[in-house]
Amino acid sequence: MNNSRRVALKTTGAFATLVSLGVITQGQAQAAVDRAGFEVKTLAEALKAVGGTPANSDQVTVVAPDIAENGAVVPVGATSKLPNTTEIYLIVEKNPMPLSCGFIIPAGTAPDVQTRLKMGQSSNVIAVVKADGKLFSATKETKVTLGGCGG
């Protein structure tokens, strides 16, 4: 059995189990499996993959260091004060594949996400938030002293 088939079987089985236990909905499982948006190469394509060009908002905050000493492990997050926030995406503008991660925010959950990303070089980190069907964003520049994407 080749690796891609093995990974597909494991992923499908895991999501089927989560859906059957009621941990996630079928729609959330299908959204998590759609990987095409994470393979785009430019900022414009990444924004298109998440739904279009967002409006800047002071209700969205990017949580990232001003200077990251090691680009292989950069703590990044986002928070939203917008009501009805349903999705949060983190985009690293100058990464080879800018769309780094996406989070589905269930109703009644605080729209606050934290993760660690690789950054190949100093770049803008963009948080895109979907609230009430509209896109909003905030940007923060993070300087990287040691690259994490092969640099």
pLDDT tens series, the chain, 151 aa: 445 555 555 555 555 555 555 555 555 555 554 567 788 899 999 999 999 999 999 999 999 999 998 899 999 999 999 999 999 999 999 999 999 999 989 888 899 999 999 998 999 999 999 999 999 999 999 999 875 565 4
Rounded CA separation 145/86 (Å): 34
The answer to whether 141 touches 71, Cβ cutoff 8 Å, is: no
Question: Directed axis angle between helix 26-33 and helix 3-21, to 10°?
Answer: 160
Phi, psi of 125 (to 5 degrees): -105, 125
Length of the chain: 151
So what's the pLDDT on residue 25? 59
Rounded CA separation 25/67 (Å): 38
Tell me the pTM: 0.76
